[in-house]
């Protein structure tokens, strides 16, 4: 059974750095074709893809936030970490992590429940 | 970046109706197109991958079609649990991108 769970602060101040952790089970990021991605959704708005890391430690980022994002993995802990620097109120959103499967679907086939991050002083 | 444009942005329909949602890519993406739906307060759920393949466990009333730049999601007989927001997403290239969503509401 594949599960993912996001964790991190619910509230951050403007200019601070956000660190989110995705802890997963039911698959391994050392297995070929497995990837984990971060996606966010501001309140009442659409989904926005942020970043992805694959089994081979290759990383991709959304164009508009590339300079502020870093994604990394700890395969032994089954965790993926996303950091976002210089947080702003417009970054207030629910942040999801999701498994991305390049073996079967080339889609986000399992998602975490999401964690709401509010940026406010 | 590839832009994904969905239409309509919202629609009202009744239980039992046939519903069609369109997604257009700003450049060709072959069949690297996925569909999700999302209910309020919940995470998105994968419905269709590779334009027309039904994800395991998803009811057969959901059908996807298209290739190149134009894609369609059809719900053949709308059920009460299908009232949600639907998103398309391309997996052809990075960065991955989503459409802006189509909200399906009860008429």
Q: How many CA atoms lie within 13 A of A31 on its CB side?
A: 12
- Which residue of chain A comes nearest to B44, CA vs CA? A111
Please report the pLDDT score of residue A40 as a whole number: 98
The answer on pLDDT for A66 being more than 90 is yes
The CA distance from B37 to B45, in Å, is 5
Q: How confident is the model at residue B49 (pLDDT cuts 50, 70, 90)?
A: very high
Q: pLDDT digits over A92-106, tens only?
A: 999 999 999 999 899
How far is CA B44 from each of CA A53, A109, A113, B101, rounded to the nearest angstrom?
20, 9, 9, 11
- What is chain A's length? 121
Please report the pLDDT score of residue B3 as a whole number: 98
Q: How confident is the model at residue B36 (pLDDT cuts 50, 70, 90)?
A: very high
Which of A3, A38, A45, A46 to substitute to test the interface with B, most B CBs within 10 Å? Answer: A46
Query: Region A49-65: what's the mean pLDDT?
Result: 97
Please report the pLDDT score of residue B14 as a whole number: 96
Beta-carbon contacts of residue B6 (< 8 Å; ≥ 6 apart): B21, B22, B23, B24, B86, B87, B88, B99, B100, B101, B102
3-state secondary structure of A90: helix
Rounding to the nearest 10 degrees, give the CA dihedral for residues A13, A14, A19, A20.
Answer: 80
Query: Region B19-36: what's the mean pLDDT?
Result: 98
Residues of chain B in contact with residue A62, where contact means CB-CB under 8 angstroms, are 95
The answer on pLDDT for A63 being more than 90 is yes
The answer on pLDDT for A74 being more than 90 is yes
Query: Region B52-77: what's the mean pLDDT?
Result: 98
Mark yes or no for CB contact B99/A46 under 8 Å: yes
Mark yes or no for CB contact A46/B1 under 8 Å: no
The structure tokens 């207030």 sit at A92
Residues of chain B in contact with residue A105, where contact means CB-CB under 8 angstroms, are 34, 46, 49-50, 53, 55
Q: How confident is the model at residue B107 (pLDDT cuts 50, 70, 90)?
A: confident
Across all residues in chain A, what is the average pLDDT?
Answer: 97
Q: Which two tokens stand for residue A40?
A: 């966010």
pLDDT-above-90 percentage for chain B: 98
């Amino acid at each position: 059974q594949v599960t993912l769970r996001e964790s991190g602060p619910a509230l951050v101040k403007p200019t601070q750095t956000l660190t989110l952790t995705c802890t997963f089970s039911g698959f391994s990021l050392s297995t070929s074709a497995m990837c984990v991605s971060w996606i966010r959704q501001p309140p009442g708005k659409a989904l926005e893809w942020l970043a992805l890391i694959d089994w081979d430690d290759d990383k991709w980022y959304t164009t508009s936030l590339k300079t502020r994002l870093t994604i990394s993995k700890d395969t032994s802990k089954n965790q993926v970490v996303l950091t976002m620097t210089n947080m702003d109120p417009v970054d207030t959103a629910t942040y999801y992590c999701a498994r991305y499967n390049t073996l079967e679907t080339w889609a986000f086939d399992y998602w975490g429940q999401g964690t709401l991050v509010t940026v406010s002083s | 970046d590839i832009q994904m444009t969905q239409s309509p942005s919202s629609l009202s329909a009744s239980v039992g109706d046939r519903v069609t949602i369109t997604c257009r890519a700003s450049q060709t993406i072959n069949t690297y197109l996925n569909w999700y739906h999302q209910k309020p307060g919940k995470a998105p759920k994968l419905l269709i991958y590779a334009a027309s393949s039904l994800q395991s466990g998803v009811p057969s009333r959901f059908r996807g079609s298209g290739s190149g730049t134009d894609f369609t999601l059809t719900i053949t007989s709308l059920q009460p649990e299908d009232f949600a927001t639907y998103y398309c997403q391309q997996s052809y290239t990075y960065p991955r991108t989503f459409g802006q969503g189509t909200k399906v509401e009860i008429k």
